[in-house]
Structure 1
Amino acid sequence: MDRAGRQSRVAKLPPRERILDAAEELFSREGIRAVGVQAIADRAETTKMALYRHFATKDALVEEWLRIVAADYTAAFDRLAQAHPDDPRAQILGLARFIADGLPGISHRGCPFINSVAELPDRTHPARRLIEAHKVRQLRRLTDLCVRAGLPDPQDTAAELTFLLEGAQVSVQNGSVERAGERLMRIVEAVLDRHPAAGPTG
């Protein structure tokens, strides 16, 4: 979207959403630590006072931004569960496709979770705790899909798939692997085909 188009869209948003939109853009592009509250307020075309009415601290804004990012991944799991309720293998492949399709978008800015963890070394930080809890839930759902697909050693298989999905995001960010999305899909399929499923267990 060009600058004029973005300004037109953002101008129609309520103040809180304008602030979150500005934070998403600036945090993704420049990093959490490099972006100040004033820069976010300016980008959202509001004031610091107005920003603090919606978010008590910058940390609270960071946490809410990452909560929205996490919700996108949760929604992907939910959409796949609805589209393929009796086919866990299709859900796993669909998740891999979701990650593969998103790789071009993070090739320059990187994964928000990976970048944020690097900038938030304090594991007691609310946003850091949010990321870790999200990753635990995601691995749990992936493990459940492996169980339902009848794959042997579902915990190990889910861990292997997680390494692949997250490794692809890192690799596309640092530019070390070409055609990362295509290769990711091929490797995930190979992992699933290596252990033919016993059949959906519902």
Structure 2
Amino acid sequence: MNTMTKTLSAGSGSSAAAVPKVRVRDRILDTARGLFYRYGLRAVGVEAIATEAGTNKMSFYRCFPSKDELIAEYLREQGRGYWDWWDAAIAPHAGDARRQLEALFDNYMTLTCKDGSRGCSFGNAVVELPEGDHPGRRVIEQHKAEMRGRLRTLSSEAGATDPEALGDTLMLLMEGGYLTRLSFCSQGPISVAGKAVRTLLDAHIPAVASTARTVRAASSKRSKA
């Protein structure tokens, strides 16, 4: 019996009893989130998800027309959680885009290095979804485009001389960090991501822009006080 089978067998008898008031659809989605992230999209079948969620395949297909649609919804749910995390990470530094970028990567390192992290849900999923017309593939492409746009916008607001190049470089660093987390765990190259980000920001943002940013941030704090 493999590890996943053991996990499913251990949990299948208690899931429904533990959360009897949760809708079947929500139970299925929540179960799929854990299994997909841990084992991958292809390794987990409909029957395994239904069993772990305390239901059956008939109920599964009443909630989701297909496994592909469940995958797409799983990715949309992961995306909503990701943007909640992103917004919370930069919120304390409103008006200071450089500090927001630094805080974003500091929080990213903590998130990526925590126990149980399997890297980026979207990066892992895109490897398993080569079909361009798969509904999950479209969710991934939209998510990554949004990430790229946000990093470019923050780079521009921070005063970068070439915000598109800086934003894309930061995205490459973030994406690569997720992958090395799978290979090296918490003691790998990801541990220098924060230092690398600050080096990039120093190289792309003129000193005059950094000074002006500091003045604006201080002024904003005084006005709020």
State whether TM-score is above 0.5.
yes
For structure 2, list consecutive stretches of 5 or more residues without a partner in the other structure. Answer: 1-9, 218-225
Contact 1:107 1:175 survives alignment (8 Å) = no
**Pairs within 5 Å for 1:68-147:** 68-105=77-114, 109-147=118-156
Identify the range of structure 1 (150-159 vs 10-19) with the bigger mean alpha-carbon deviation: 10-19
Q: Take 2:27 and 2:42, find their aligned partners in 1: how far apart are those partners? A: 20
Using the TM superposition, give the Cα deviation of residue 12 of structure 1 relative to its aligned residue in structure 2, in angstroms: 5.1
Equivalent position amino acid for 2:130 in 1: P
1:170-198 CA-partner distances (Å, limit 9, x unpaired): 01111288344431111111111223451
Q: Take 2:18 and 2:191, find their aligned partners in 1: how far apart are those partners? A: 33
Identify the range of structure 1 (132-141 vs 105-114) with the bigger mean alpha-carbon deviation: 105-114
Q: Residue 193 of structure 1 aligns with which residue?
A: 202
Contact 1:93 1:189 survives alignment (8 Å) = yes
Aligned pair count? 200
User: Which residue of the other structure, out of 43, 49, 64, is the alignment partner of 1:55?
Assistant: 64
Q: Residue 19 of structure 1 aligns with which residue?
A: 28
Identify the range of structure 1 (130-139 vs 187-196) with the bigger mean alpha-carbon deviation: 187-196
Identify the range of structure 1 (140-149 vs 69-78) with the bigger mean alpha-carbon deviation: 69-78
1:40-98 CA-partner distances (Å, limit 9, x unpaired): 00000011111112111111100011001111222233224532221111211122123
Check 1:106–1:153 CA distance in 2 against 1; reply closer, same or farther (3 A cut): farther
Which SS does the other structure have where 1:175 is aligned? helix
Contact 2:158 2:205 survives alignment (8 Å) = no
Instruction: Indicate the structure whose relative CO is greater, using CA pairs within 8 Å and at least 6 residues apart.
Output: 1
Identify the range of structure 1 (44-53 vs 6-15) with the bigger mean alpha-carbon deviation: 6-15
| TM-score, normalised via structure 1 length | 0.87
Q: Take 1:9 and 1:141, find their aligned partners in 2: how far apart are those partners? A: 39
Using the TM superposition, give the Cα deviation of residue 138 of structure 1 relative to its aligned residue in structure 2, in angstroms: 1.1
Q: Take 1:56 and 1:130, find their aligned partners in 2: how far apart are those partners? A: 17
Once the two structures are aligned, what percentage of the paired residues are identical? Answer: 37
Identify the range of structure 1 (38-47 vs 17-26) with the bigger mean alpha-carbon deviation: 17-26
Contact 2:148 2:167 survives alignment (8 Å) = yes
Contact 1:84 1:90 survives alignment (8 Å) = yes
Q: Take 1:182 and 1:156, find their aligned partners in 2: how far apart are those partners? A: 23
Q: Take 1:153 and 1:116, find their aligned partners in 2: how far apart are those partners? A: 31
Q: Which has the larger radius of gyration?
A: 2
Identify the range of structure 1 (88-97 vs 122-131) with the bigger mean alpha-carbon deviation: 88-97
Q: Take 1:176 and 1:76, find their aligned partners in 2: how far apart are those partners? A: 21
Check 1:24–1:10 CA distance in 2 against 1; reply closer, same or farther (3 A cut): farther
